[in-house]
């Protein structure tokens, strides 16, 4: 008799647990995956449609037991996209905000193809040319010994941080770097690394030289643009803007028709 009571009690608890689980599953079930996309290209818009359809596959799953890492793994299959925000909004919604990385930089490979990178330095794809998928050309990185490493793959190597800092600083002021800049070229000096410089070729013709780029490359690029913005339309077609370290560590810029660095 006692065993029968225990058995009945256990069965009752199991049934109660099943009822509770079923009730929770009914309440905490994903009915909507809300995704806000920011895209810059036709390819990005097409990929956003495809990704949204795949994310709709989470509808009907338990929001309680859904791991957001599952969503992250799907988005990672699209290298041009990055997640800006991702969260469960109980009881029935998963929200994420996704933006398309701006394809901006290009490096010519030994096999004649180009590795293309976002403005952040994230590797995006390999292509036959340096054309941007949103139209126009990407900005060339020349003379650098750079490679993509890590996960996600990101530019590393000598002066990688310096050139990316210069890219960020110039993009803040120019908004669309590719509209004004053709290339960043590293010029090495055999006598001293302090005499190395990054040469930025602007579309109008004027050249920007950032001396000793290992030190404050971003600040030097911002100062160079301050000078650039003050030039007349004619002066932007010729000459050189040079930014160097002063004797007391201050940054000094100069505009002249001839190069001060070579």
Instruction: Grade residue 27 by pLDDT with cuts at 50, 70 and 90.
Output: low
Which position has the higher pLDDT, 247 or 164?
Answer: 164
Sheet order of strands, 93-100 included: 32-38, 93-100, 81-89
Tell me the average pLDDT across 172-191.
92
CB neighbours (10 Å) of residue 141?
A: 24
Whether the pLDDT of residue 132 is over 90: the answer is yes
Q: What is the pLDDT at residue 23?
A: 45
Tell me the pTM.
Answer: 0.84
Q: At a CB cut-off of 8 Å and minimum separation 6, what does 188 contact?
A: 143, 196
Q: What is the pLDDT at residue 109?
A: 95
Q: What is the pLDDT at residue 6?
A: 52
CA-closest candidate to residue 144, choices 112, 105, 178: 105
CA-closest candidate to residue 119, choices 84, 171, 59: 171
Q: What does the mean pLDDT of the chain come to?
A: 89
Tell me the average pLDDT across 230-250.
93
């Amino acid at each position: 008799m006692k065993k029968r009571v225990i058995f009945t009690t256990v069965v009752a608890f199991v049934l109660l647990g099943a009822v509770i689980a079923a009730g929770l599953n009914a309440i905490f079930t994903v009915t909507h995956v809300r995704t806000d996309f920011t895209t810059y290209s036709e390819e990005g818009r097409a990929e956003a449609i495809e990704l949204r359809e795949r994310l709709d596959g989470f509808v009907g799953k338990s929001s309680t037991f859904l791991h957001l890492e599952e969503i992250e793994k799907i988005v990672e299959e699209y290298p041009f996209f990055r997640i800006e925000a991702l969260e469960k909004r109980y009881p029935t919604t998963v929200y994420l905000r996704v933006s398309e990385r701006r394809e901006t930089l290009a490096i010519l490979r030994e096999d004649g193809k180009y590795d293309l990178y976002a403005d952040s330095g994230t590797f995006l794809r390999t292509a036959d040319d340096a054309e941007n998928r949103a139209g126009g050309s990407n900005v060339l990185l020349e003379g650098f010994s750079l490679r993509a490493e890590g996960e996600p793959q990101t530019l590393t190597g000598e002066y990688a941080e310096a050139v990316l800092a210069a890219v960020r600083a110039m993009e803040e002021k120019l908004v669309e770097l590719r509209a004004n800049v053709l290339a960043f070229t590293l010029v090495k000096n055999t006598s001293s690394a302090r005499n190395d410089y990054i040469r930025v070729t602007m579309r109008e013709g004027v050249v920007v030289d950032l001396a000793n780029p290992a030190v404050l490359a971003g600040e030097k690029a911002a100062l160079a643009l301050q000078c650039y913005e003050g030039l007349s339309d004619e002066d932007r077609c010729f000459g050189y803007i040079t930014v160097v370290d002063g004797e007391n560590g201050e940054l000094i810029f100069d505009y002249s028709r001839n190069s001060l660095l070579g």
